[in-house]
Amino acid sequence: MNDTATGAGETIRVTLKVFGGLREALGTPERSIRLSRAASLDTLLERLRIDEPAFAQRLDEGLAKGYLNILRNGRNVRFLDGLETQLSEGDVIACLPPVGGG
């Protein structure tokens, strides 16, 4: 996914951080992404579906099964507005898959 620069007043930049197997699916632990100023978490997911379809499919599966946690600046979006959570300049979006161990 390319970080294309447009007018700074028209866009925001968010940082996407991924962990576990999602890191391998994206190919990097962190990515800076520009979105429209009115973007929500769902807007980010739509962008990922276009730019990173295999990665986005893993996100969609995790969300559908209820085991993937997405945090906006450390707060689980389930306790905010879910996928309608509005994003702002500088937000950090973290995608946390389930962790196994013993």
The answer to whether 83 and 77 have CB atoms below 8 angstroms apart is: yes
**b/e per residue, 18-53, with b = 16+ CB within 10 A?**
beeebbebbeeeebebbbeeebbbebbbebbeeebe
Distance CA 96, CA 36 (A): 24
Band the pLDDT of 6: cuts 50, 70, 90: very low
Q: What is the pLDDT of residues 72-87, one digit of tens each?
A: 999 999 999 999 999 9
Q: Is the pLDDT of residue 8 over 80?
A: no
Q: What is the pLDDT of residues 11-69, one digit of tens each?
A: 999 999 999 888 888 989 999 999 999 999 999 999 999 999 999 999 999 889 888 99
Set out the domains of the chain in order of their start, with CATH numbers: 11-96 (3.10.20.30)
Which pLDDT belongs to residue 22? 87
